[in-house]
């Protein structure tokens, strides 16, 4: 009987497994308490493979922040139907935000707690995500305010004060 051949997993798929395991571990235990051994075990790979793919704990954490920030921003944008009235778009964007964070509590912990409290580089990554969401939501508020006041020329700066 011959040896069983297993199909090699593509790098991108394996990397996502590692990021999934890292987000769960960082979210549950925190950045400082999380170990690369624990992340590797949860991902079902060797610790050297994690280092080969993602270089260091810091680079792995940064990759987690970037991926989860992109997913959150994408979820908020996808939750908004631009064909609906502006107030409904704003409401749907908020619902999408809370639905996504509710479904991904470890990701929210990474973005909201861990990234902000473990160094400027990580905090800057999270701040960029927050800034992108603020710009998007501000635009929704501007459109809603213009519709509510029936003033298409209402200056954005007058609405920005509310944000």
Computed over every residue of the chain, the mean pLDDT equals 88
- Contacts of 131-138 spanning 24+ positions with Cβ under 8 A: 132/69, 132/73, 133/72, 133/73, 133/76, 133/97, 134/163, 136/73, 136/76, 136/77, 136/93, 137/76, 137/90, 137/93, 137/163, 138/163
Residue 53 has pLDDT above 80, yes or no: yes
> Looking at residue 4, what is its pLDDT?
44
For residue range 61-77, list pLDDT tens digits in order: 999 999 999 999 999 99
For residue range 79-119, list pLDDT tens digits in order: 999 899 888 998 999 999 999 999 999 999 999 888 888 77
Per-residue burial over 47-71, b = 16 or more CB atoms within 10 Å of its CB, e = otherwise: eeebeebbeebeebbbbbbebbbeb
**Mean pLDDT lowest among 11-20, 46-55, 65-74, 135-144:** 135-144
Q: How many angstroms separate the CA atoms of 121 and 62, rounded?
A: 8
Higher pLDDT among residues 40 and 161, named by residue: 40
**Mean per-residue pLDDT, 142-160:** 82
pLDDT band at 141 (very low <50, low <70, confident <90, very high): confident
Residue 93 has which token pair? 């964007």
| Helix, strand or coil, per DSSP, at residue 83 | coil
Give all domains of the chain, ordered by start, each with its CATH number: 11-160 (1.10.357.10)
Higher pLDDT among residues 10 and 25, named by residue: 25
């Amino acid at each position: 009987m011959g040896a069983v051949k297993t199909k090699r997993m593509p790098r991108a798929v394996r990397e996502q497994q590692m990021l999934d395991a890292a987000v769960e571990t960082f979210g549950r235990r925190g950045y400082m308490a999380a170990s690369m051994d624990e992340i590797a075990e949860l991902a079902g790979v060797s610790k050297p493979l994690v280092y080969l793919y993602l270089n260091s704990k810091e680079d792995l954490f940064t990759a987690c922040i970037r991926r989860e920030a992109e997913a959150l921003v994408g979820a908020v944008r996808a939750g908004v139907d631009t064909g609906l009235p502006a107030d409904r778009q704003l409401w749907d964007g908020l619902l999408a935000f809370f639905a996504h964070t509710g479904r991904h509590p470890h990701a929210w912990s990474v973005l909201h707690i861990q990234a902000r409290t473990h160094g400027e580089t990580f905090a800057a990554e999270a701040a960029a995500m927050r800034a992108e969401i603020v710009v998007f939501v501000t635009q929704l508020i501007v459109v809603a305010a213009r519709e509510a006041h029936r003033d298409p020329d209402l200056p954005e700066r007058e609405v920005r004060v509310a944000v």
